[in-house]
Amino acid sequence: MGETTELDVISSPQFQQRFKHDQKNLCCIKWFSLVKRCIFVVFYKKKNKDDFDSCVGDDDDKQKMGKDVEGKLRELLKILDKENFGKKISGSILKGPFDVPANPEFTVGLDLQLIKLKVEILREGRSTLLLTGLGGMGKTTLATKLCLDDQVKGKFKENIIFVTFSKTPMLKIIVERLFEHCGYPVPEYQSDEDAVNGLGLLLRKIEGSPILLVLDDVWPGSEDLVEKFKFQISDYKILVTSRVAFSRFDKTFILKPLAQEDSVTLFRHYTEVEKNSSKIPDKDLIEKVVEHCKGLPLAIKVIATSFRYRPYELWEKIVKELSRGRSILDSNTELLIRLQKILDVLEDNAISKECFMDLALFPEDQRIPVAALIDMWAELYGLDDDGKEAMDIINKLDSMNLANVLIARKNASDTENYYYIITSSSFMIC
C-alpha cells in the first residue's frame, strides 16, 4: 500500500494543478478522464497480474476489458484530432524552420532581388513564385537569405519549410523527416503522392498561421509534382527555384549575371588579396581576370579561390594568356567540371545538347538569325525543314536560361516577325 503508483501520481493535486488552466475546456476534461481510466487498467494489469486475473474472471471478461481499453484509446485519439488539442497546448506544431541552410557568409548583388521577393512573400493570401536562372547564379543562396530575413521570420515564424528537390526528389524521406521534426509518429508512405498528401494534412494543422514552403532546385519533369504541393490553405506561399523557367506560376523572378563592380567585390573577397603577403595585384589586373568570368558567381568563386595566395607573376602570366585568346578554363579543371554539371539538364536529349554547343560558333552577345540555325541543324542533325523541331529546341534552351530568344520586326509596318537568338554570356566563359 505504501508504494506510489502512476495512478497516485496522475490523481495527485500537483499533477492536476498543471492542467488547471485547461480544466474549463471540455476537450481537456475528456482527455484527462480517458487517460486516467486507460492508465489504471494497463498499469494494474501489468503490476498485479495474479490479482487482476482473479478479479476479472474468465477469458471472456479479459477480452471484453481489453476491447474496452482499446475503444477508450480510439475515442481519445478522435477527441484530440477533432479539437486540435496539440495546437491548443503547445502552439505551432513546428519546432522552428525546417532544413533551411546556413546563412551564406558573403553575398553581393542580391539585395534588389531580395527586396522584390520579400514584397511578394509578405503579401497576404496564397501564391506560387518561381526564382529561375542559370546554374551557379545564386538561386539557393537568395532563397536561403529570404528564409533567414527578419521580416520574413517575423511573419512566418516557425512555419518555414525548405525542401531540396534536386534531380530525383526523395519526397517520402523528406515528409517523414518533417513529421519527426514536428514530434509526430513517423508514417511509412508507399509513394511520393501519398507523402505529398500527408504533408498537406500536416500543414492543415497549422492553417490560420502563414506558411512558407521553399522547393529548391526543381528539375525538368518535376513540374507536375510541384502542382501537388498547391494545397488550398490560406496565406500559403510556395517559392520554387529552378534552372528552368516553368510556366503556371503567379510570378517569375530571373537572376541575371552580376554587374562588373559586384563581380570584382566577390572576386576580391575569395582571393583575399588584402591578406596576401606578396605584391597585391592592381585593380586593372583583377578586372581583366573577372571580365572573363562573365558575372557568373560560381565561376568567380572557383577562379578566385584558385588564385588565392598565388604570386603576382602568375597573375600577370594568366592575364597575358587571356589577352591572346586562351580560355580561363584551360587553367582550371575544377571550374570546367562544375560548368559541365550545369548542362546536365540537357543530358536526356543529345541533339539539344549539340545544338546548344553550336551556339558557341557565333560571336558572343550577338543576334543569331533563327533561320540560319534551322538550316544548319536540318543539315547536321536531320531536323525537319519547316523549323518546328528547331524552334522546340530553341524554346527549350530559352526556358533553361541557356539562351535568350528575341522577336523583332524590320519596321513597324511589317506583319512578319523575325526571330533571333542571343547566346547566354554567362555560360560562354572564355
Could you read off the pLDDT of 70-84 as tens digits, one per residue? 666 666 555 555 544
The highest-level CATH class for domain 260-339 is: mainly alpha
Q: Parallel, antiparallel, or unpaired for β 211-218 and 160-166?
A: parallel
Single out the residue of 295, 273, 277 nearest to residue 285, CA to CA: 273
Ranking 13-17, 287-291, 317-321, 334-338 by mean pLDDT, the lowest is 13-17
Q: End-to-end CA distance of the chain, in Å?
A: 87
Nine cell digits for residue 104: 551564406
Q: In what order do the strands lie in the sheet with 418-423?
A: 367-369, 418-423, 403-408
pLDDT, residue 15, reads: 41
Sequence-distant (≥ 6) Cβ neighbours of residue 335 within 8 angstroms:
298, 299, 302, 303, 306, 328, 329, 429
Query: What pLDDT digit, counting tens, does each position of 412-423 carry?
Result: 444 445 566 655
In whole angstroms, give the CA distance from residue 203 to residue 19: 27
Backbone CA torsion sign across 83, 88, 94, 95: negative
pLDDT value of position 427 = 46
Q: Does domain 348-423 have CATH number 1.10.10?
A: yes
pLDDT in tens, 228-244: 899 989 899 999 999 88
**What pTM does this model have?**
0.64
Q: Other C-beta atoms within 10 Å of 187: how many? A: 14
Assigned C-alpha cell, 22: 485547461
Helix, strand, coil fractions of the chain, as percent rounded to 5: 55, 10, 35
Beta bridge partners of 213: 161, 238
CB contact set of 242 (below 8 Å; sequence gap of 6+): 130, 131, 132, 139, 217, 218, 219
Contact (CB, 8 A) for 175 and 195 = yes
Cell of 221: 519533369
Per-residue burial over 193-230, b = 16 or more CB atoms within 10 Å of its CB, e = otherwise: eebbebbbebbebbeebbbbbbbbbbbbebbebbeebe
Mean pLDDT across the stretch 249-263? 93
**Ranges of each domain in the chain:** 6-90, 111-254, 260-339, 348-423
> Around Cβ 51, how many Cβ atoms within 10 Å?
11
Note the CATH architecture for domain 111-254.
3-Layer(aba) Sandwich (3.40)
The length of the chain, given as a count of residues: 430
Using the predicted structure, report yes or no on whether residue 57 has a pLDDT greater than 90: no
Q: Which pLDDT score, from 0 to 100, does residue 335 have?
A: 58
